[in-house]
Amino acid sequence: MPDSIYCNQRGLRRHENADIATRTRLALPEHASVSGICSVCAHEGLCEIGRKAREGKAHLPEPYGTAQFGAEKRLTSLADLQVVPELFGQGQIFPKIRTEATIGGFRCSLPLAVAALGSSKVANDVCEAISSGTAAAGIPRVIGENILATYGKPGYKKVVDPYLQNYKKLGALVAQGNATEIGHGVFELAAELGCHAIEVKLGQGAKQNLGGEIRFESDADAEKYKKLGYFVVKDKQGYVRHAHPGDILEDGLRQLLIKKAELGLPIWVKIGIGRGILKLIALLDKVKKEQGVPLTCLTVDGFGGGTGLSPWLIMNETCVPAGSLFATLDKKPSFDILLAGGISTGADIAKVMMLGAAGASAARPFIIAATVDPKEGIPNYVEALKEEVQMFCASQRVDSAEKLRGRRQNLYALDQAAAATFGVSDRPKDVL
């Protein structure tokens, strides 16, 4: 069997019929056919096909509530780009390099935001540590979807208050709303509580067009969510709540942005990358300029991320790297663009900025940092990222992180796939 069936030159793509996240396995993993079925199948039913036969459900990653999840399929990623040092220019002592930057209208200690963390248990368990830690670190923190519906106003304040109490004029607290909860006044509550900006959620990379989901067991909660407009399904394990993914129609989006501009807060938007992204960016730019909407940031989420309950097959088999946007975006819009999906190091931040982004956005690393050390984990993590970004700035002979932006000529693609994905050269003569 040719290696290309399963692999590109960077390694295993993914066996589609067994995975630790679905608590399944192959009886003969070293002898799997192209379908993922063992080449000699003894019908043991240990695999995903067997589990589907027993349960009649598409797989959600497990264990829900105590773990977070990310796609395993190997696509071209930022790791397939190499930063080419700049030889000429003034040398920089890297600890002296400035990492402060403006993203989405707010001055931040580092061009990095905490992507929206919603109502999933794994995020809510450390929500106070994340809020206080990101405020102390001086970076933006986006409050994710469905928290108000799940935990009520007291639960929402549990996320808001620690950030505002530790806020030191760097960063921002941004309140996200999806199609359902915008109608329940989540943005108005956020403004009342002192949030600095709002974010209209149009989608996410891990499950664009599917809407947010959680598992729960209470019959009373099922009735509550139904009354609030959520779609609730009962299965053998309890209930699954689905948020409406929302419509993206030009007139409707325009009117929503105009209406929410009346709150007097900067507006961010989040979307998962997909067909039509250039049209969406052009529309947002037009609405900002023509209607005076205070749109300051668009977060484009791509393949590789996800924290909560995304269907496993969708998480792995849809979406593309967010950095591919800058291979096709010819005109810079009048608002910042942050890239999300698989961001975890200072190298990732530097590379997305060199591609053209104003900064990066990440979620899963902050849950890890807050869990490891609820008080100092996030400030320590951000300090480490700052130091890594400073090193990449020194490699480019620039004295601030903001000057990394747009230096795509100093990115080298390690193969043709990376060159095509990110729109940078894989030929030494172009970068040396």
Strands 411-413 and 81-83: antiparallel
Does the pLDDT of residue 6 top 80, yes or no? no
Does the pLDDT of residue 196 top 90, yes or no? yes
**Model confidence pLDDT, tens digit, residues 197-206:** 999 999 888 8
Q: 9 pLDDT band (50/70/90 cuts)?
A: very low
Structure tokens at 164: 């505002």
**Model confidence pLDDT, tens digit, residues 55-102:** 998 888 888 878 888 888 899 999 999 999 999 999 999 999 999 999
The neighbouring-strand residues paired with 270 are 201, 299
Is the previous residue joined to 61 through a cis bond, with omega within 30 degrees of 0? no
Q: 15 pLDDT band (50/70/90 cuts)?
A: low
Determine the pLDDT at residue 309: 72
The share of the chain scoring above pLDDT 70, in percent, equals 96
**Model confidence pLDDT, tens digit, residues 120-148:** 889 999 999 999 999 999 999 999 999 99
**Model confidence pLDDT, tens digit, residues 291-345:** 999 999 999 999 976 766 788 888 899 999 999 999 999 999 999 999 999 999 9
As a whole number, the mean pLDDT across the chain is 93
**Model confidence pLDDT, tens digit, residues 386-410:** 999 999 999 999 999 999 999 999 9
Determine the pLDDT at residue 2: 34
Question: From CA 198, how far away is CA 263, in angstroms rounded?
Answer: 9
The share of the chain scoring above pLDDT 90, in percent, equals 80
Determine the pLDDT at residue 311: 85
**Model confidence pLDDT, tens digit, residues 206-244:** 888 988 888 899 999 999 999 999 999 998 889 989 899
Mean pLDDT of 19-47: 91
Map out the domains of the chain with their CATH numbers.
3-55 (no CATH), 78-431 (3.20.20.70)
**Model confidence pLDDT, tens digit, residues 160-173:** 999 999 999 999 99
